Amino acid sequence: MGEQVGNTPLAVLGAGTMGLGITSLAVGHGVPVVLVESNSGNAAKAKAAVAGQLRMAQLMGALPADRERGAVTVTGTLAEVAAAGVVIEAVTEDLATKTKVLAEIESVTGPQVPLVSNTSSIPIDELAGCLADPTRLVGTHFMNPCYLIPAAEVVRGPRTSQHILDTVTGVLAVLARTPVVVRDGPGFVTSRVLHPMINDAIRVVQEGTATVEAVDTLMQDCLGHKTGPLRTADLIGLDNLADSLRVLAERTGDARSAPCELLLAKVSAGHLGRKSGQGFYDYGKAQL
């Protein structure tokens, strides 16, 4: 499986934060990628953004030194993914958008090609309902930055086939990620636990109990959270976090998961975190 992945393009749909991160991880491990982005502005910047992530990953020693970089092809048309061995959907966290893209991809790829959703919260079986063959869909939730996080959450839907699961875990092995397989459900494990916690941390700031810096320092130095919840929110992207929380609130009925007012205000102001240059912290300029 490793040799096949190395010689067969991986297709990634969406050149947002996660799409670029997944592309950079794959290219850095020698896997060619077809990156599909319909927004011409985002597409024009995609190769430079991937190159920037590769430079950072190399500086941090996070890429294998003995592999040539994979090629990146950026395109605006889904027809270009017909030859891909695996397709990873990383578009916006919206059910209608994801199901439309997945159904279109199913129609242009072979019946044995795994369809992977990088959704952070939408149940895999809910997405699989749009497919003629729901056994082809599996969730693989990469974390940002992809090149630094050594594990990936793999979500097996109730209709995901063993062949598809095995193929995708094989791809992760090529990318030097450790697959952790979990069952389906809103938010799976990581988002179901992490995102409401971050929402609570934001609410503490909103209520004036503590500053952003105090919350992160206490969570880091007292509770061992590596980056602090608010720096983590900026890394996730505050718009992505808000979308994920809405999905959780709608599908679990947990009022704690409804995005709090301060989070929504920052999203409305365009303060989306590292990618916009400002979130709970000021980064000076947009980060690649």
Task: Give the type of residue at 257.
Answer: S
What is residue 72's three-state secondary structure?
Answer: strand
CA-based nearest residue to 248, from 182, 180, 190, 183: 190
The catalytically annotated residue of 89, 93, 106, 153 is: 153
Active site residue 153: yes
DSSP assignment, residue 61? T
Q: Which helix (H) or strand (E) holds 88?
A: strand 86-89
Structure tokens at 3: 């040799």
CA-based nearest residue to 41, from 92, 87, 3, 76: 76
CA-based nearest residue to 79, from 90, 87, 91: 87
Sign of CA dihedral 106, 111, 116, 121: positive
R_g of the chain, CA atoms, integer Å? 18
Neighbours of 108 (CB within 10 A): 17
> What's phi and psi for 48, nearest 5 deg?
-65, -40
Q: CA angle at residue 92 from 86 to 98, to 5 degrees?
A: 55
Tokens 């491990």, residue located: 29
Structure tokens at 253: 């009925």
Q: CA angle at residue 127 from 172 to 140, to 5 degrees?
A: 15
32 cis-preceded (ω within 30 degrees of 0): no
What is residue 66's three-state secondary structure?
Answer: coil
Catalytic residues: 153
